[in-house]
């Protein structure tokens, strides 16, 4: 079997990123859209850690900062979702059109 | 020492990650999506371990699978998702969105094929025994300012979440 190189990890991360983008673009449920955003952030993290094996530990530090960002984003996004659900009794993202002109 | 990063484990964990990602974006029930996402996050922590990054793997398990996913499950319990389960799960732009994402994937593949030489196959081995120590030294040394800003970001996120989820301010 071929040894596992950095490129293998990059391909996995690219596929994960693609699945996350498909989820963001096609799903209607806001909770699942937020989960797809987590998938995208995870793909970025996998890239950063894969590169950190080649070029030092800075990639891992950035991965930790990305995880921090994901936590903040999830908290704010779910807070918005609860506020929205209280007003309109729906979690479908195409019914979120209050700001649409 | 003999490397633990055998090809079998890589393919197993990668397949688990991608399979659970597919389950996340296709399941009707949001709780099933969340559980699939937890499985994928744990598999990805295994991939981090194979990349000699035990600290990031631990943070991934504790923060993502332990913290953020509990937040997601709480919100799924709080909002009533039963009505939306009976509705159409995908929006009108699903074909165009999928095609755009596949075009993005094709772009990635083109970049990887053309830039193959940029990614050297041999990796300089990082001592995984002192990984946590080195990460800590970087985090509290070179990245001190960014670390403090991250704490400020978390504070703002906490206040924002509380303000938005509150009934009456």
**A to B CB pairs, distance under 8 Å:** 240
Question: What tens digit of pLDDT does each residue of A67-96 get?
Answer: 999 999 999 999 988 888 888 888 888 888
Check B97 against A22: CB less than 8 A apart: yes
B90: β partners: A27
Chain-centre distance for alpha carbon A5: 24
| Token output for A80 | 């918005």
User: pLDDT-derived band of residue B126, with 50, 70 and 90 as boundaries?
Assistant: low
Residue A9 located in a structural domain: no
Check B119 against A91: CB less than 8 A apart: no
Question: What are φ and ψ of residue B167, in 5° steps?
Answer: -70, -50
Maximum CA pair distance of chain B?
60
Q: Which domain holds residue A80?
A: 29-89
Task: Report whether B61 contacts B40 (CB < 8 A).
Answer: no
Residues of B in contact with A7 (CB under 8 A): 112, 116, 119, 121
A92: β partners: A29
Residues of B in contact with A93 (CB under 8 A): 91
CA angle at B13 for the pair B118 and A28, rounded to the nearest 5°: 95
CA pair distance B108, B13, nearest whole angstrom: 21
CA distance A98 to chain B (A): 16
Residue A97 located in a structural domain: no
Residue A71 located in a structural domain: yes
Q: Does A12 touch chain B (CB under 8 A)?
A: yes
Task: Report whether A87 contacts A93 (CB < 8 A).
Answer: no
Q: Does B16 touch chain A (CB under 8 A)?
A: no
Residue A91's pLDDT is what? Answer: 81
A27: β partners: B90
Task: Report whether B52 contacts B126 (CB < 8 A).
Answer: yes
Nearest to A63 by CA among B51, B16, B69, B141: B51
Residue A99 located in a structural domain: no
Range with lowest mean pLDDT among A83-87, B44-48, B103-107, B115-119: B115-119
Q: Give me the mean pLDDT over the B96-112 stretch.
A: 91
| The model's pTM | 0.89
CA terminus-to-terminus distance, chain B: 59
Q: Does A88 touch chain B (CB under 8 A)?
A: no
User: pLDDT-derived band of residue B125, with 50, 70 and 90 as boundaries?
Assistant: low
Residue A62's pLDDT is what? Answer: 93
Question: What tens digit of pLDDT does each residue of B51-86 get?
Answer: 888 899 999 999 988 889 999 999 888 887 777 777
Residue B121's pLDDT is what? Answer: 62
User: Is B16 a residue whose pLDDT tops 80?
Assistant: yes
CA pair distance B145, B134, nearest whole angstrom: 17
Q: Which of B2, B8, B24, B89 should we substitute to test contact with A (largest number of A Cβ atoms within 10 Å)?
A: B24
Q: What is the 3-state secondary structure (H, E, C) of B87-138?
A: CCCECCCHHHHHHHHHHHHHHHHHHHHHCHHHCCCCCCCCCHHHHHHHHHHH
Average pLDDT, chain B: 86
Task: Report whether A10 contacts A53 (CB < 8 A).
Answer: no
User: pLDDT-derived band of residue B167, with 50, 70 and 90 as boundaries?
Assistant: confident
Domain with residues B1-83, CATH architecture? Up-down Bundle (1.20)
CA pair distance B104, B32, nearest whole angstrom: 27
Name residues whose C-beta falls within 8 Å of residue B166's C-beta, 6 or more positions apart in sequence: none
Check B30 against A31: CB less than 8 A apart: yes
Closest by Cβ to B165, choosing from A3, A71, A82: A82
Residue A43 located in a structural domain: yes
Residue A14 located in a structural domain: no
Closest by Cβ to A21, choosing from B27, B41, B101: B101
User: pLDDT-derived band of residue B146, with 50, 70 and 90 as boundaries?
Assistant: very high
User: Is B1 a residue whose pLDDT tops 50?
Assistant: no
CA terminus-to-terminus distance, chain A: 57
Closest by Cβ to B17, choosing from A10, A12, A70: A12
Residue B78's pLDDT is what? Answer: 85
Question: What tens digit of pLDDT does each residue of A1-55 get?
Answer: 677 778 888 999 999 999 999 999 998 888 999 999 999 999 999 999 988 888 8
Q: Does A84 touch chain B (CB under 8 A)?
A: no
Check A78 against B150: CB less than 8 A apart: no
| Token output for A43 | 């793909």
Count the domains in chain A: 1
CA distance B1 to chain A (A): 16
User: Is B20 a residue whose pLDDT tops 80?
Assistant: yes
Residue A74 located in a structural domain: yes
Residue A97's pLDDT is what? Answer: 79
Residue A49 located in a structural domain: yes
**Where are the domains positioned within chain B?**
1-83, 130-169
DSSP-based three-state secondary structure for A69: helix
User: Is B124 a residue whose pLDDT tops 70?
Assistant: no
């Amino acid at each position: 079997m071929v040894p596992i190189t950095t490129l293998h990890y990059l391909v996995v991360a690219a596929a994960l990123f693609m699945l996350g983008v498909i989820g963001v673009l096609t799903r209607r449920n806001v909770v699942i859209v937020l989960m797809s955003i987590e998938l995208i952030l995870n793909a970025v993290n996998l890239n950063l850690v894969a590169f950190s094996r080649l070029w030092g530990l800075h990639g891992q530090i950035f991965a930790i900062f990305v995880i921090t960002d994901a936590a903040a984003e999830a908290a704010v996004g779910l807070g918005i979702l609860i506020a929205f659900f209280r007003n309109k009794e729906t979690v479908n993202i195409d019914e979120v059109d209050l700001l649409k002109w | 020492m003999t490397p633990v990063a055998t090809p079998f484990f890589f393919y197993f964990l990668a397949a688990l990650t991608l399979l659970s990602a597919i389950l996340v974006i296709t399941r009707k029930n949001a709780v099933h999506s969340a559980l699939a996402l937890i499985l994928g996050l744990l598999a990805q922590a295994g991939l981090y371990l194979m990349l000699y990054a035990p600290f990031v793997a631990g943070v991934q398990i504790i923060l993502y699978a332990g913290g953020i996913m509990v937040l997601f499950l709480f919100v799924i319990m709080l909002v009533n998702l039963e009505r939306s389960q009976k509705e159409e799960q995908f929006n009108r732009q699903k074909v165009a969105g999928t095609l755009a994402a596949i075009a993005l994937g094709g772009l990635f593949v083109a970049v990887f094929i053309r830039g193959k030489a940029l990614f050297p196959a041999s990796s300089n081995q990082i001592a995984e025994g002192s990984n946590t120590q080195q990460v800590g030294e970087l985090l509290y040394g070179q990245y001190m300012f960014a670390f403090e800003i991250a704490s400020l970001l978390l504070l703002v996120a906490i206040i924002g979440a509380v303000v938005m989820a509150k009934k009456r301010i």
